[in-house]
Structure 1
Amino acid sequence: MSVSLTKGQKISLSKNGATLTRVFMGLGWDVAKKGGLLGGLFGGGGESIDLDASCLVFDERGELVDEIWFRQLKGMHGAIVHTGDNLTGDGDGDDEVIKVDLSKLPASVKSLVFTVNSFRGQTFDKVANASCRLVDDTNQKELAVFALSEAGSHTGLIMAKLYRHNGEWKLHAIGEKTAGKTFHDMMPAILGML
């Protein structure tokens, strides 16, 4: 069963007393369409769209302790793995995936912030069928789904934060619109969300 979270909403990642241990964030979008009838016939028009998923790891003090993105595909000694950079959105399903084994994260980790950015600068309202989802990796059930096109004319979005509260992992849907071609450009807004 899928839960469509709204901005600011929080949910627990514990179900019936059993805590989820493995989740993944999937990011999907469609290849840019060629412009017009002649553009489609002769290969003109359309521009390549490169969305990027990132996971930033913070400690109790709110300090960045690890970053998992297309230039660093593994973090936290293998507890977080990015499956690889997709430069076009080509293919079905999730185009970029970040897998997290919450049970392998050290106790010093307080929160994980998931972001999406448009590396080539196209705004989200120009990207077809762009969505991001958080999935229980044990039974492949969607926990939350976010439509990126609703972000409008922005190039970055702070999607969600997984955080520990009283020994339990919770999900906070942030949905903060930002500008940035990488998460580095978005850091002032990210730090404001901690």
Structure 2
Amino acid sequence: MAINLTKKQTINLSKENKVALTGVTMGLGWDAKAGLFGLFGGDIDLDASCLMFDDQLECEAVWFRELRNRDGSVRHSGDNRTGAGEGDDETIQVRFDQLNPRVRHLVFTVNNFTGQKFDRVKNAYCRVVNDKGVEVARYALGDEANGSHTGLILMKVSRGDDGDWHCTAIGQPANGRTWHDMRSDILKLL
């Protein structure tokens, strides 16, 4: 059964999985709020990103303009420009068993490239699904997703000294059209 994460809560993904964890998928879902009198709500284009950091805070990113990292261990499903439909709107798959061993932290973010604010977003969530397709953790963004910001730092997945992977829900509002604009905020969390 999936753990419903709260802001700043950390879980050990490896222990929650109960068997060797070779990878996870981070799924992101959202809907656009309806406009005046329930009309003119329109689409909202959110963009998920995964930033990979080593001990020296060197960064490689997977996002809608770079759908996989150099070694192929992290892959993005592609850009969903509407948020329409059920389930995950964008996903990022991480293969821990293929990930460069220098990578210590994976930070997942979401931005609105066109500058729309998160006060137009509802039902936003991110979730972690194990390599067997079972949801391990879910973070319903709630109030964190509302506001006049254009980005969110969603969660951090870190390799512990024990070799296990630990997931922390962050939900920190930020501003920027892409992850590049939020990098200084992200570095403060590492």
d(CA) in 1 for partners of 2:131, 2:89: 16
Equivalence for 2:43: 48
- 1:22 is aligned to 23
Indicate yes or no: 2:175 matched with 1:174. no
Secondary structure of the structure 1 residue equivalent to 2:97: helix
| Aligned equivalent of 1:161 | 156
TM-superposed CA distance for 1:54, in Å, is 0.2
Please, which runs of 5 or more residues in structure 2 have no aligned partner?
none
State the alpha-carbon separation in 1 of the partners of residues 141 and 13 from structure 2.
21
* In structure 1, distance between residues paired with 2:104 and 2:88: 27
Q: Percent identity?
A: 49
Q: Conserved in 2, the CA contact under 8 Å of 1:161 and 1:173?
A: yes
**Secondary structure at 2:71's aligned position in 1?**
helix
Unaligned 5+ segments in structure 1 are none
* Map 1:57-68 → 2, pairs under 5 A: 57-64=52-59, 66-68=60-62
One-letter amino acid of the structure 2 residue matched with residue 29 of structure 1: W
SS of equivalent residue, structure 1 residue 143: strand
The alignment's TM-score, normalised by the length of structure 2, stands at 0.89
Deviation at 1:145, TM superposition (A): 2.1
CA RMSD of aligned residues (A): 1.9
Q: TM-score, normalised by structure 1?
A: 0.87
Q: How much does 1:148 deviate?
A: 4.9
CA distance in 1, matches of 2:145, 2:33: 18
Deviation at 1:18, TM superposition (A): 2.7
Contact in 1 for aligned 2:80/2:89 (Cα 8 Å): yes
Q: Residues of 2 paired with 1:115 and 1:122: CA distance? A: 16
Cα distance in 1 between the residues matched to 2:36 and 2:131: 38
Q: Distance in 2 between matches of 1:2 and 1:147?
A: 16
Offset of residue 29 of structure 1: 1.5
Which structure is larger by alpha-carbon Rg, 1 or 2? 1
Provide the C-alpha distance between the structure 1 equivalents of 2:131 and 2:112, rounded to a whole number of angstroms: 26
